[in-house]
Structure 1
Amino acid sequence: MAGAVQWIAESVQEILQISGLTVQTFLVLCSTFFLACVVFNRSRNLPPYPAGRVPVLGHLLALGRAPQLKLTAWRRQYGDVFTVRMGMKDVVVLNDYTAVKDALVDRSELFASRSPFYYLFDAIFGFGKDIFSASWGPEFRQRKKFATTVLKNLGMRVGRGSIEDNIREEANCLRNRIAENNGQPFDVAHDVAVAVANIICSMTFGKRYDYEDETFRELTKAIATISIELGAGHITAVFPLLRFVPVVNRPIIKALEASSKVKNVMREEISRHRENPRDFLDFCLLELEQQEKVAGLTEENVMYMAQDLFLGGTDTTANTLTWSLLYMTLNPDVQNKVHEELDAVVGKSLPTLSHRSQLPYVNACLMA
């Protein structure tokens, strides 16, 4: 091995002497060649690139401040399918129903996997160790089928034995919590988040949190931080190496710290779930021992799968409900009509799914 290294060093030195290059110049040329290969490398069989692509940045400058308008203009010029260079990544853009159906329906298995495009996304969701970010294949299908079956067994269905009773109970707790403010203005966002999370927690962990629980307050803050950073369109999505650059990587570090808090809660819950299967974690741990339905299932997989339920359902649903409350506040006439219909059909009790067909105006508002 040492002889081979010495031979290579002597050969490089000889080449430099013959060409008259210095070591510094040689290194610059090698670096330039390497960067040129990376920047100008284009995958084969891709649809055409629109004009305006530049080295390193790709089409980022050409897209401007209104990328949706630029993409529409490019569609008229280049057709329904074309390629946009986003920094160091190629992105194929599909513009019409036929193209989307052809890719996502007719050839669904070829396009079913999520691209490993965004470091922060992959890091938070375990680089495919969960369900949400896993690549399409037998492992993904087994985990998804197993999780769906467990959730149905735990009440995620319509009809007898559903989780509707838990939802109505938590809605009543939220109503009482709001009533405690005696009509005075307050920020309802945290209470709504707790109510939503408690439904998920009741299925995942077999427990609920108190509205004043400090640990849960920190947990909801961590979830909100993760959601914000994932949706912020960070520059590392198109230039992954920038995650190592100080200051630039601050949002990455912030989101990963928040993700670590969520994972710690998951691990703590897993450690105390070793008895009768009563919730999602219990069923997962039982499968972990038996290895009957999900091949190669590990405790790390269980942790990430539980995190999927928690992250995927808490902040999204809570934000939807909070926006609904805001719109009701801004439109008191609509609020009054909803209130009147609920009073007429439901009365003083809480609504159930069986009331849906009798509440056309409420349903219209929910669908708006």
Structure 2
Amino acid sequence: MAESAQEILQISGLNAQTCLVFCVAFLLANVLLKRPKKLPPYPAGRVPVLGHLLALGRAPHLQLTVWRRQYGDVFTVRMGMEDVVVLNGYTAVKDALVDRSELFASRPQNYLLDTIVGCGKDIMSARWGTEVKQRRRFATLALKTLGMKIGTGSIEEKIKEEASYLRNKIVEYDGQAFDISNDVNVAVANIICSMVFGKRYDYGDETFRELSESVSNVIAAMQGQIVTVFPLLRFVPGVNRSSMKALKLNSKIKALLWDEIAHHRENLDRENPRDFIDFCLLQLEQQEKLDRFTEENVMHITHNIFFAGMETTTNTLLWSLLYMTLNPDVQKKVHEELDAVIGESLPALSHRPQLPYVNACLQETMRIRTLLPLNVPHATTQEVKVQGFDIPKGIKVFPNLYSVHMDPAYWPDPDRFDPERFLDAEGNVIDKPESFLPFSGGRRVCIGEKLARMELFLFFSTLLQSFTFKAPEDAPPANTDGVVGITWGPHPFKLCAIRR
């Protein structure tokens, strides 16, 4: 326990004097503030000021899932001075996110997330209400119009083109060990740029490189931030170093987006909108579908699309390739299915129904390594009863999606990578099994789910059609624990891509 406390202080830059001042302040607050009487129970391990932070450690979803066995599907953890209700398992999570979605559809206050992604003027962090509902509907319709769909007008051709660029880039490594993460990140970022800016960038373009790197660096800088739990610490020099770095990098991203909006405004073709920004600017002129919609909303929603669309899809692809290197028998079955169905032609979305094992591999990747183990935090829109407990209005709620995807009652031997979980007796893929919510659900379901699934299928099938992925010779066993931050990504790893 002492070592954990020391680690937190070192990470956050706290010195003894600062720590003492805040400990006294928070202890006084702890005495004055009373906990609601009917909240779900606290697990053991709560300490003054920090609450359960020490017990949760760097991978809180793991400890929360362990506590589920002792305290049940619903309990309360103390995050600093704040109570957070945790929902575990498919029944409790589905009840909140899907069956009674409206009651759990809001967002809690979160200083760092709010400041970075939109302060309520966006989609991701905005509190639930008429305005965010309108923004979600508008953004979804715009993305569908721009190609987030199957059939005429689909963005499929652009994804296939980008997959070919990625394949050609990997060929340059000539079978030598390399880190594929940057190349995958660039490819995924280019799909977002195609939809939002109406253009793709060469991999060496300076503006594009700065944008993609800044997004990744902001997400990395936001990980493990003590100011998220204790917002007042943002005013303490040293302690606020990482958060200030994230905000500085984020200002560069926003400046670039403002430049793009200005450029689009100067060249707007009202009869033929080219991309997402054009659609937004036309909506600004018409003011028909959205209340109090401004250019600031445009910037923040565009910002959301980059943050939500890049990191999640990139990490899912990285996990899928890592698991291919760890399971050569699975990779062999993927190769056999691709060869039998596609041959030498390029993979297309029309092939998807004929490639159940390829789809099952992607589903299993999303299950075993849930990209957002605790989802984006939710908040209740009114007082609600959950399994006999009274949950107050506005309280923060963690839906533990990791516990949903690793529940032995639905997924026997859950730590084993086994795509056949997603195949029925006839070998057809099971698209919507129980206890599977990789894109969340209900009112706050990911609006880019269809785009992400298109990207994952086309990138994965193109790469596996072209290469056999292997771990470098004499390399230590790959670490699949991953790094938990805003998303759950793999540790840096190298692989060899052998042309088939």
TM-score by length of 2: 0.61
Provide the residue aligned with 1:86 in structure 2: 79
- The amino acid that maps onto 2:150 is V
Alignment of 1:10-89 (within 5 A): 36-37=28-29, 39-44=31-36, 46-50=38-42, 53-61=46-54, 71=64, 80-89=73-82
Which residue type is aligned with residue 280 of structure 1?
F
Instruction: Identify the residue that residue 262 of structure 1 maps to in structure 2.
Output: 253
Q: Does the alignment pair 1:123 with 2:119?
A: no
Q: CA RMSD in A?
A: 2.7
Q: 2:232 aligns with which of 201, 220, 241?
A: 241
CA contact (8 A) 1:122 1:128 kept: yes
* Pair 1:229 & 2:225 matched: no
- Which structure is higher in helix share? 1
3-state DSSP class of the match of 1:83? strand
CA contact (8 A) 1:63 1:71 kept: yes
Aligned length: 336
DSSP 3-state at the match of 2:237: coil
| Cα distance, 1:73–1:284 mapped onto 2, change above 3 Å | closer
- 1:113 matched residue in structure 2: 106
The whole-number CA distance in structure 1 between the counterparts of 2:344 and 2:48 is: 65
Amino acid at match of 1:111: F
1:209 aligns with 2:201: yes
Percent sequence identity over matched residues? 66
Amino acid in the other structure paired with 1:92: V
Counterpart of 1:363, as a letter, is: N
Partner of residue 318, structure 1 = 314
Distance 1:141 1:103 in 2: 18
Structure 1's unaligned 5+ residue stretches are 1-31
Q: Distance in 1 between matches of 2:323 and 2:156?
A: 25
Higher mean C-alpha displacement, 168-177 vs 200-209: 168-177
Q: Give the secondary-structure state (helix, strand or coil) at the position aligned to 2:264.
A: coil
Q: Which amino acid aligns with 2:232?
A: L
Which residue pairs with 1:173 in the alignment?
Answer: 165
| Residue 365 (str. 1) matches residue 356 (str. 2) | no
Deviation at 1:80, TM superposition (A): 4.4
1:183-222 Cα distance to aligned partner (Å, 9 max, x none): 3333322221111111111111101110111222222221
Report the Cα distance in structure 2 between the residues aligned to 1:272 and 1:166, rounded to whole angstroms: 23
Distance 1:63 1:39, change over 3 A: farther
Note if contact 1:198-1:209 (Cα within 8 Å) is conserved in structure 2. yes
Q: String of CA shifts for 1:26-78, please: whole Å, max 9, x gaps.
A: xxxxxx89963465412545415536544322333455788667656765766
Q: 1:185 to 1:84 in 2, by over 3 A?
A: closer
Q: CA deviation at 1:149?
A: 0.7
> Who is 1:17 aligned against?
none
If each structure's strand is expressed as a fraction of its own residues, which one has the higher value?
Answer: 2
* Structure with greater contact order relative to length (CA < 8 Å, sep ≥ 6): 2
1:273 partnered with 2:269: no
Partner of 1:334: 330
* Per-residue deviation, 1:319: 1.9
1:165 maps to a residue whose letter is E
Corresponding residue of 1:21: none
Distance 1:352 1:70, change over 3 A: closer
